[in-house]
Amino acid sequence: MDRPSLAELDRAHVWHPFTQADEWEEDDPLVVERAEGRWLFDTRGRKYLDACSSLWVSVHGHRHPTVDAAVRAQLDRVAHTTLLGLASGPSVQLAAALCARTGFDRVFYSDSGSTAVEIALKMAFQWHAQRGDTGRTRFAALAEAYHGDTIGAVSVGGIGLFHAVYGPLLMDVLRLPCPNGPDDGEAAVAVQRIEAAGDTLAAVIVEPLVQGAAGMRMHGREFLEPVLTAARRVGALTILDEVAVGVGRLGTFLATEQLDHEPDFVCLGKGLTNGYLPLAATLTRGRIYDGFRGDHGRTFFHGHTFTGNALACAAATACLEVFEAESTLDNVQARSTQMGSILREVSALESVASVRQKGMMAAIDLTDTQPRAGHRFCLAMRSRGVLMRPLGNTLVLMPPLSITDEELLFLGTQLVGALSG
């Protein structure tokens, strides 16, 4: 008897994230075997441009020699030791490099964007409580927010399709309106709500400039700065969830660098290790850290088994070095401009309702509003050698930051071809 194929075993045993089983089983799964730079190869030997950066994580491309070498070298020393009661070289080096790069003082490690967010929420609440401010028990978050899938992160999330089902389990969160485009009075309403909530607020959490999972909804400084300023005015802390927009995606290492606001926390994940290993970081200030000093009871009682994993930290430090060695942010500037001209061409097509872009994040809304139109379009792109993942009927362009002009040209040509078809 033949051994079952990987595709058959997948159908039999793997539960895929954010995936409806009945829909998954309609299509033949593409099984990835290996990768090189911006390209993935499947088990049939076909080649695809990784236009979603393997769900927003691949910054410098797959199998990058510097990152590969760093992980291999660390593997020859030790793969993992705990940060509970011990220090480790890779976690120290990465924390120092991240602080030097961002101006933050402290790094708390975890292993996913969701946990980076949970950590910031818990730290904010506890920091206030330990100063005697025990009435600050609420968080404010933006409409359509996405901050991850653990219950605290789902509470601050605001996407009905993902989050409504868990309603009975969630914290009561103050919801703030958020524009998709220029501010149209949303900032004024948000400021008013923050002021009314006043000293009940522990923190305001936002995905700055681009709300990714919401469908690449984009707002500007003119919306965000008044909101963050109001938070500070009422004594709430500010948490900027840069899990999607951080690590160079918007043309600066942190998106926060584009704002006139110094947040109390920034959450990083996704691109931090170039997608090699699960690692996230909650960056914060010395004054927050100092609020946890003193009695044993003032400790931050939180930590995950793999907090500060040595292989992951080595990958992330190498990833930061590549930013310098390859002037990655310069490539982001050049490729963003190129992406802009592709989008202008695309926006003239009948099948396209609207387009928007910030840095190397772009979205194309289809005029086709039938269920799964975005999914069907991405299957058509797959047969043209491009892998994308839609958000509903919005197409998402999130290629690796190291993409070359030829590769982006290929992506543009295939997009225009498929959208004109």
> Residue 411 is encoded by which pair of tokens?
């992506």
Q: Distance between CA 188 and CA 184 in Å, rounded?
A: 9
Q: Which is nearer to ligand PLP, 231 or 267 (CB)?
A: 267
Q: Which residue number has the CB closest to ligand PLP?
A: 113
Minimum distance of ligand PLP from residue 319's CB (angstroms): 16
Which stretch, 83-91, 108-116, 329-337, 412-420, contacts ligand PLP (CB under 6 A)?
Answer: 108-116
**Using alpha carbons only, what angle is made at residue 32 by residues 31 and 35, rounded to the nearest 5 degrees?**
170
Helices of type H across 181-259: 186-197, 221-233
Site string for ligand PLP, 317-356 (x = CB under 6 A): ----------------------------------------
Minimum distance of ligand PLP from residue 400's CB (angstroms): 16
Contact 285, 105 (CB under 8 A): yes
Q: Which is nearer to ligand PLP, 234 or 279 (CB)?
A: 279
Residue 405 φ/ψ, nearest 5 degrees: -65, -35
Q: Which is nearer to ligand PLP, 94 or 418 (CB)?
A: 94
Q: Distance between CA 13 and CA 94 in Å, rounded?
A: 37
**Of these, 152, 177, 208, 269, which contacts ligand PLP (CB under 6 A)?**
269
Q: Does the protein bind ligand PLP through residue 104 (CB under 6 A)? A: no
What is the 8-class DSSP label of residue 133?
A: -
Q: Which is nearer to ligand PLP, 183 or 242 (CB)?
A: 242
**Of these, 112, 155, 256, 284, which contacts ligand PLP (CB under 6 A)?**
112
Q: Does the protein bind ligand PLP through residue 212 (CB under 6 A)? A: yes
**Of these, 213, 234, 288, 362, which contacts ligand PLP (CB under 6 A)?**
213
Q: Which is nearer to ligand PLP, 316 or 342 (CB)?
A: 316
Displacement of CA 331 from its chain's centroid (Å) = 20
Q: Which is nearer to ligand PLP, 150 or 351 (CB)?
A: 150
In three-state secondary structure terms, 32 is strand
Q: Which is nearer to ligand PLP, 162 or 289 (CB)?
A: 162
Q: Does the protein bind ligand PLP through residue 38 (CB under 6 A)? A: no
Q: Scan for tokens 């980076």, then name that residue.
A: 116
Minimum distance of ligand PLP from residue 57's CB (angstroms): 9
DSSP string, 355-419: EEEETTEEEEEES--STTHHHHHHHHHHHTTEE---BTTEEEE---TT--HHHHHHHHHHHHHHH
- What region, left, alpha or beta, does residue 248 occupy, with left being phi > 0 and alpha being psi -120 to 50 degrees? left
| Closest to 155 measured CA to CA, from 104, 205, 229, 83 | 205
**Of these, 120, 140, 178, 244, which contacts ligand PLP (CB under 6 A)?**
244
Q: Does the protein bind ligand PLP through residue 106 (CB under 6 A)? A: no
Q: Does the protein bind ligand PLP through residue 113 (CB under 6 A)? A: yes
| Run of H or E residues at 106 | strand 106-110
Q: Does the protein bind ligand PLP through residue 398 (CB under 6 A)? A: no
Minimum distance of ligand PLP from residue 367's CB (angstroms): 26
Minimum distance of ligand PLP from residue 361's CB (angstroms): 11
Window 288 to 307, contacts with ligand PLP (CB under 6 A): none
**Cβ contacts of residue 9 below 8 Å, gap of 6+?**
none
Bridge partners for 40 per DSSP: 35, 48
Q: Which is nearer to ligand PLP, 239 or 346 (CB)?
A: 239
Site string for ligand PLP, 122-161 (x = CB under 6 A): ------------------------xxx-------------
**Of these, 53, 114, 180, 331, which contacts ligand PLP (CB under 6 A)?**
114
> Residue 255 is encoded by which pair of tokens?
């998106």
Contact 346, 416 (CB under 8 A): yes
Q: Does the protein bind ligand PLP through residue 218 (CB under 6 A)? A: no
In three-state secondary structure terms, 48 is strand
Q: Distance between CA 387 and CA 377 in Å, rounded?
A: 11
Contact footprint for ligand PLP (CB under 6 A): 112-114, 117, 146-148, 207, 212-213, 241, 243-244, 269-270
